Structure formats: C-alpha cells, structure tokens
Structure 1
Amino acid sequence: MSGAAPPLISGACRDALETWLSHIRALQGASDNTVTAYGGDVRDFLAFMTLHLGGPQGLGALAQISTGDMRAWMAATRADGVGPRSLARKLSSVKTFYRWLAEREGFEPTAVLSARAPKFTQKLPRPLSEDAAKAVLDTVALQSQTPWVAARDVAVVTLLYGLGLRISEALSLKGRDAPLPDVLRILGKGQKERMVPVLPVARDAVAHYLKLCPFPLEADGPMFRGVRGGALSPNLIQKTVAQTRAQLGLPATATPHALRHSFATHLLEAGGDLRSIQELLGHASLSTTQNYTAVDTAHLMDVYRRAHPKA
C-alpha cells in the first residue's frame, strides 16, 4: 500500500505516531532504519483504516478497531502482494505502536494485539563453505581495474567475513579508526556496542587500501570512499559481490550478509560456543544466534558421535 499516496490521516493520529517514533528513538535506542520501517508500517495501517472506516479518524476511533477491521487490513495487505513474512513484520510494528498508545490513552487494545500473524517458513542463514568464502576474497579484487578500488573492495569484504560485521557497520568506520586496533569497538543495531577482535589479515587489507586510496584520511570522514570521494555506498559492495559470485558460479544466496553468516558458522564448526558468537555478532537474543546450529547439523552430529562416550 505504500506505493500510492496515503489518504489524509487525522492530525491527532499523526501527532501520536510522531511522538511514539521519537520515544523509541530516544528511549529505546532504535536505529534510523528501524524507526523508518516502523513509521512506514504504521502509516500504511492508519491510511488503510482511514479508507476502511470512511474518512480520517481520531484516536477514539483507533481505540474501537475490531477483530474484523484487523482481518480486513491483513487481507488487503496480502492482496497488495505483501508476503507473509513482511505482513508479520508490519503487524508487529502496529502491535508495538498500539501497546504504547493504549497505555497512553487508557484503552484496551485486545483486538489488535490478538491478531495472529500468518505462518511462514523461517529461512535459515545460507553460509558459504570455507573454500567458497576464500574464493570470494581472492576474486573480489578482479572486479575493478583501478588498484585502489580493488583494494577497497577486498578490505570491506574481509571485514564482513573476517570480523562478522554487517555491511553498514563496516562502512560506518571513520578515519580515526585507522590503523585498525587489535580489538575494534562496533556500534551495531539499536546502538548496541560490542568489541570485535581484529585479525591480522583484516588489518593488513585495510592498511593496503588506505595506502592506495587517493583521498586524504580525515578523522571524522568515512574510511571507505566512493570514486568521487564521498562515503562508499552499500549498493556498490553488493554489486561487486554479485559480480564475484557470478564469476565463481556461486548461488544467488552468496551475498555480503552471507559472509557474516559464514563467519559465524565457521566459528561454530571450529568449536566456538554460541554465547561467544552471539557477542561477536551483536545479536540481542541467543535464539537468533542459535539459527546457526541448524546450518550444519551434520557436522555437529559428527562432533557429538566422536566425542560422546556412548555414541
């Protein structure tokens, strides 16, 4: 529904939404991307209710939304081509907003909170094999004939696989972070801070890039630059990795984020414990990290059989 211009939302609803977004940004430390996603999901919901209920509605009307209204919204959203996973995310955003609004306005949000998200199959991470990950690192440099650009791409990809960084985290590094220390302080999702050990290969890759980079290294400026000197766009790294996987004949699941998955999986295979991997990845919940245990069950069972005295 977000593709069309939304109908007018009442001023009271709009003000409540902006107040809530400010609340989660300031008090919960939500990232800009999270706030933007929440805002879009709830605005689409309010826009639908404007049409569904016959005109701009105030906060009182929101308190009266029924189970049937929720079903109508979910059906319309699915009809717009939104998949079950995305609808579940939108419903979660609306419920989070309603919990806050109900407490603030003093009404019972049962109809909204009792709405059930559609079932969907949980997609587990699709890591690369160790050989494939190494091949990506070796081949990324071939995607550009400009030496400093090739070195830059190698440095970024090495940070994704060697340190388990998100692409946004790697590209958020500043000039003051060079040379990379033995342990790097990373500010991840929700402003959650973690400390990540830096492998020599990653430190060397970044140092090589900085030696070739034609732009001056400024303390508050981006470490990784585009060809015109501005901050490097994540899309360029995604494009470079896409070219690399095509050259190597790897599946479409071999994305920059898959390198982060590979970092975690290979640590697990090498005997790393989930708690330590959780801290390195910056996951808020261990259950998120536990997804990696399903990636290579055969390997884990082999370890179990060899280690267990009665296996």
Structure 2
Amino acid sequence: MSKQEKTPSLAALLARYFVDLRVYNWSPRTIDRRSHSLGQFIAWCEQRGIDGAAEITTEAIEAYRRHLFHRRNERTGKPLTFCTQASYLSAIRHWLTWMVEQKFLQANPARDMALPKLPRRLPASHLSISEVEALLNAVELSTPSGLRDRAILETFYATGMRRAELIGLKLEDLNVDSRVLMIREGKGGKDRVVPIGRRTLEWIEKYLHDGRDALAGDNRDVLFVTALGNAFHPNNLSALVREYLVAAGITKRGSCHLLRHTAATLMLERGADVRTIQTLLGHESLNTTQIYLHVTIQQLRDVHERTHPAAQDRPAGEPPEDTPQSRNT
C-alpha cells in the first residue's frame, strides 16, 4: 500500500478479512464468532483512540489481555473463562497475521503472545442406560411432534452428533438400507458418515411416515422440523431436550451435549476403542477424544477391585494371600 493511499479503518480491515475467510471456505459459524470477538476488540481500541492497524502495539495487546482477565460476562456476571479469553486473543492474533500478509502491518505485535493455559476439564456427567430409557419413555407419542421428539432423542443417543449437526440433517442424508446418516459440513467443514441402530432407524421412519407431513408443510428438505415447518434454532432444540430431561426426573446438567457425552462414555465402558469414538464424534484430534477415558470410573473401579491386592475384601489387618507374610503363616 503506497503512502498516498488512505489507511483503512479497523472496521474496514475487518470487513476485508472476513471476505478472505469466506473465499477460503471458513465456516459461517466461525466467522460469526470472530465477528463478535473482533468487534469487541475494535470497540475497545476506539475507546482508547486506536484507529488504525499501525497503532495496535504489543503494549496495546497486553493491555487488552488484562482487560479480558478482569472483564465480566454480561449475562452471568462471572469472569470470562480462560477458554473464552484464549478464543478472543487467538482471533486477534490471526487477524493481525492477515494484516501482515496484506501489507497493512510490517510485523504482528501479537506474534509472540502466549495464550492462557487452559484447564483440563472432565466432560459433563453422562446418563446411565436406565436414565436414557427413562428419558426416551418421557415422550408422549400420540402427536406428530412427539414422534419427532422421540426420533430426535434416539438420534442424539445413537450417534453422539453435535446439536448443529442434527439441525442440519436433510432428508437425503438418511440411508435406510445402510442404516447410516451423512453429516455434511460438521465442525471444521468436514463430512462424515455415522451408523444408526435398528431401533433408531425404526423411530426415524415412524416419524417420517406418521408425523413429519403434519409438521413440515412445504418443507421437503430438513429432516427434523418444528411445528412451523422450519429447521430448529439451536436454543429451541436445547430447551426441548432439557424439558424431557426434567420430565424424566433427571437433574444432571446439560441437554443435547449431555447425550453426546452419554453416547461416547457408554460405548467406551462397553469396550469401544478410543479411535472409533473419535471417528463417531468427528473429533479432528485424538487428544479431544481421550478425555473420555477419564470418565469411565465404573469400569476403572471394576478392574481395580478385580486386580488390585488392596481392593480385595478381607478382614482389616489380614495380609493379602500372595505376600511372603501370608505364605509363611
């Protein structure tokens, strides 16, 4: 960019950046998230008289990092999680890298910025098999929406798919003969095929034959439709699942993602290997899937009680049978 050209504003640079992300096929959801986080950063800059890219210094980035650390969530009043802070800072670093590539900056002031260390958290609690059955049986099946809801819950439980993936399912994505569902443009824009069991397929077919036409109107595209014939809004689908959890007397936190955790954990407890779970859930990295290995506590307890000498049932003070002391008595 020549010196005679007017330096673009931060808002104009952000608009150009998003055009490039779309050209390179970034997902709309990722762009929406970055639009929010980078919009927050631009507002912070403008409040401090930072109007152009050249005025974003390393010191400004560090000041914004401190701002995020002390900032409160407007809805909950709680501090921003380190995951949220890292997401905001990562978006800024990528945007500034793009500015360097486009010659709007000579160097990236956030290049050497270290992101917050993220806590390694266990997944949310999962449902037992009996709780899943109670959840499924909480659905009233005498209405078209009831048949739809049972099919939705069965699909979540059978596949462990994400909420957005279920919302995006099309009629053409169901292969009855092969008993699979095609998930198109899952997280990261990747397609994958997931199996569904016979029971799940039967409930989906029952919904399609006896319920969907009464709900869909002219919609001949979306698999699971609302009473207005549209695709679900994410919040509405979460609320729907949560209502059935409450109706079943289940107090564990979560809704759609709780069923995703349940599918993965129960399969691991029954012998599935972690790479199979990785494929089913659509995790890009095996590290993301391996966290589920930490929640199969019942399986760990069973093996521990079966194999660890100190876990065997015996009177207090009595030595284990395989110790030298026990062999000498």
TM class by smaller structure = 0.7 to 0.9
Cα pair distance change 1:201/1:77, threshold 3 Å: same
1:164 matched residue in structure 2: 160
The CA deviation at 1:121 is 5.6
The residue aligned with 2:30 is 34
Q: Secondary structure of the residue that 1:195 maps to in structure 2?
A: strand
Residue pair 1:126, 1:253 contacting (<8 A) in 2 also: yes
Q: TM-score w.r.t. structure 1 length?
A: 0.82
Cα deviation 1:87-128 (Å, max 9, x = unaligned): 222112112222332333353325454144265463523221
Check if 1:70 corresponds to 2:61.
Answer: yes
Structure 1 contact 95–113 (Cα < 8 Å) conserved: no
CA 1:286–1:157 in structure 2 vs 1: closer, same or farther (change >3 Å)? same
CA contact (8 A) 1:173 1:222 kept: yes
> Which residue matches 1:96?
94
- Following superposition, the deviation at residue 179 of structure 1 comes to 5.9
Q: How much does 1:294 deviate? A: 1.2
Deviations 1:25-63 (A, max 9, x none): 332x432111100121112112211222x25x222223x
Does the Cα contact within 8 Å between 1:128 and 1:254 map onto a contact in 2?
A: no
**Matched residue type, 2:113:** S
Larger mean Cα displacement after TM superposition, 216-225 or 299-308: 299-308
User: 2:183 touches 2:194 (CA, 8 Å); kept in 1?
Assistant: yes
TM-score scaled by structure 2? Answer: 0.78
Q: Distance in 1 between matches of 2:183 and 2:266?
A: 21
- CA offset at residue 166 of structure 1? 1.2
The answer to whether structure 1 residue 46 and structure 2 residue 42 are counterparts is yes
Q: 1:283 to 1:116 in 2, by over 3 A?
A: closer
The whole-number CA distance in structure 2 between the counterparts of 1:252 and 1:11 is 50
* Kept in 1: contact 2:216–2:225 (CA 8 A): no
Match of 1:138 in 2: 137
Establish whether residue 127 from structure 1 lines up as the match of residue 136 from structure 2.
no
Listed as ranges, the matches of 1:1-311 within 5 Å are 11-27=8-24, 29-52=25-48, 54-55=49-50, 57-62=51-56, 65-67=57-59, 69-82=60-73, 83-84=80-81, 85-105=83-103, 107-111=106-110, 113-117=112-116, 120=119, 122-139=121-138, 141-142=139-140, 147-178=143-174, 180=176, 181-187=178-184, 188-213=186-211, 214-215=214-215, 221-300=221-300, 302-303=302-303
CA–CA separation in structure 2 for the residues paired with 1:89 and 1:305: 42
Name which of structure 1's ranges 78-87 and 164-173 shifts more when overlaid on structure 2: 78-87
Q: Which runs of 5+ in 1 are unaligned?
A: 1-9
Query: In structure 1, what residue type is equivalent to 2:183?
Result: I
CA RMSD, 1 decimal:
2.8
Map of 2:317 onto structure 1: none
Change (3 A) 1:270 1:119: closer
Distance in 2 separating the partners of 1:78 and 1:114: 15
User: Displacement, 1:148?
Assistant: 0.6
Q: Letter of the 2:63 partner, please give it.
A: A
Change (3 A) 1:283 1:26: farther
Q: CA deviation at 1:167?
A: 1.8
Identical counterparts, % of pairs: 27
Letter in 2 for 1:13: L
Q: Tell me which amino acid in the other structure corresponds to 2:27.
A: S
Q: Determine the C-alpha separation between the residues in 1 that align with 2:203 and 2:39.
A: 44
The 1-side partners of 2:122 and 2:26 are apart by 24
Take 2:218 and 2:281, find their aligned partners in 1: how far apart are those partners? 28
Q: How many residues align?
A: 291
CA contact (8 A) 2:125 2:252 kept: no
Q: CA deviation at 1:275?
A: 1.0
Post-superposition Cα deviations, 1:205-260, rounded to whole Å, max 9, x if no partner, equal 11111122214687852122211222233333322222222233322414111101
Who is 1:3 aligned against? none
- Distance apart, 1:170 and its partner CA: 1.5
- Secondary structure of 1:249's partner? coil
Residue 6 (structure 1) aligns with: none
Which structure has the higher relative contact order (CA within 8 Å, separation 6+)? 1
Confirm or deny: 8 A CA contact 2:158 2:197 kept in the other structure. Answer: yes
Give the Cα–Cα distance (whole angstroms) in 2 for the partners of residues 86 and 150 of structure 1: 37
